[in-house]
């Protein structure tokens, strides 16, 4: 094995170790629980309660909200918290690269999003809703969770030690994306200008995949949804790395 491969494997293992540390320490923190679990649940059920909606119509939107909010809940909270507690400074003094630290934080949100996304899947199976394309849904959840986690790291790039500042920013960014992404109104029922605006949100493409899998009637072709999520993921990871490499020295 060449030296470069050895270094790459070592940094990858350290990234997963950082992700494990983040999950153990931060997954029960207030911002993660409120903005990652409770808030989207209350928001969605306030929308569907009292409305005569079939389960296969309701579940794609619920799953989209769960994956989006949980996958963007840990990464924005970790960086300012570690800046305030000076643990980021200690972590940067370890034999890990800044890219490894950033990747570890992304992986923490990614794993958290995957774990919590199991809940609406279990609910759908328990009430007898059929998933017509389970393999496609699983692949879509994995891709979307990583994409949204990288997006969360972009929001965390603000050089502050106050989690409230970052969380306020995430709410200001995520809410507009939520309402233009076909969560509450399917893309086919949006006006033409709404469908155009919806293309800027990565959540649009995962929600469309979920509608394909539950209802077999997504608006966009599957390959467009998959390619769009891949493109967003690559762009978000690149932007997150560049921004954090600039702001990380200002945190210590």
How far is it, in rounded angstroms, from Cα 42 to Cα 47? 9
Tokens encoding 4: 């470069």
pLDDT tens column, 12-53: 777 777 777 777 776 666 556 666 566 666 666 666 565 566
pLDDT tens column, 60-116: 777 888 888 888 877 777 777 777 666 666 666 666 777 888 888 888 888 888 888
Tokens encoding 60: 């794609």
pLDDT tens column, 215-224: 787 788 899 9
Q: Which residues contact 119 (CB under 8 A, 6 or more apart)?
A: 66
Q: Which residue has the higher pLDDT, 229 or 125?
A: 229
| Domains contained in the chain, number | 1
pLDDT at res. 236: 93
Q: Does residue 98 contact residue 245 with C-beta atoms inside 8 Å?
A: yes
Would you say residue 144 has pLDDT above 90?
Answer: yes
Would you say residue 168 has pLDDT above 80?
Answer: no
DSSP letters spanning 119-185: HHHHHHHHTT---S-HHHHHHHHHHHHHHHHHHHHHHTTS--S-HHHHHHHHHHHHHHHHHTTTSSS
How far is it, in rounded angstroms, from Cα 44 to Cα 159? 32
- List the domain range (segments joined by +) for residue 120: 3-251
Four-CA torsion 184, 181, 155, 108, nearest 10 degrees: 80
3-state helix, strand, coil in the chain (%, to 5): 80, 0, 20
pLDDT at res. 252: 64
Long-range CB contacts (< 8 A, 24+ apart) of 79-83? 79/105, 79/153, 79/156, 79/157, 79/166, 79/244, 79/251, 80/156, 80/158, 80/160, 80/161, 80/162, 80/163, 80/165, 80/166, 81/26, 81/29, 81/163, 83/159, 83/160, 83/161, 83/251
């Amino acid at each position: 094995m060449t030296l470069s491969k050895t270094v790459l494997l070592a940094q990858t293992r350290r990234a997963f170790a950082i992700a494990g540390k983040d999950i153990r320490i931060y997954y029960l923190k207030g911002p993660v629980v409120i903005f990652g679990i409770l808030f989207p649940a209350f928001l969605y059920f306030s929308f569907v309660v009292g409305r005569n909606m079939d389960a296969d119509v309701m579940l794609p939107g619920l799953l989209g909200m769960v994956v989006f909010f949980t996958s963007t809940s840990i990464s924005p909270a970790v960086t300012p918290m570690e800046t305030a507690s000076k643990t980021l400074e200690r972590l940067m003094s370890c034999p890990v690269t800044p890219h490894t630290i950033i990747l570890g934080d992304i992986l923490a949100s990614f794993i958290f999003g995957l774990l919590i996304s199991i809940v609406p899947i279990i609910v759908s199976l328990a009430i007898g809703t059929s998933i017509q394309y389970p393999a496609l849904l699983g692949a879509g959840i994995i891709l979307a969770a990583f994409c949204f986690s990288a997006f969360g790291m972009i929001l965390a790039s603000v050089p502050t030690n106050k989690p409230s500042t970052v969380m306020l920013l995430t709410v200001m960014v995520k809410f507009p994306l939520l309402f233009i992404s076909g969560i509450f109104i399917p893309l086919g029922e949006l006006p033409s200008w709404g469908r155009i605006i919806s293309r800027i949100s990565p959540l649009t493409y995962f929600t469309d995949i979920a509608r394909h899998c539950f209802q077999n009637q997504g608006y966009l072709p599957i390959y467009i949804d998959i390619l769009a999520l891949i493109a967003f993921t690559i762009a978000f990871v690149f932007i997150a790395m560049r921004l954090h490499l600039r702001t990380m020295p200002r945190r210590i």
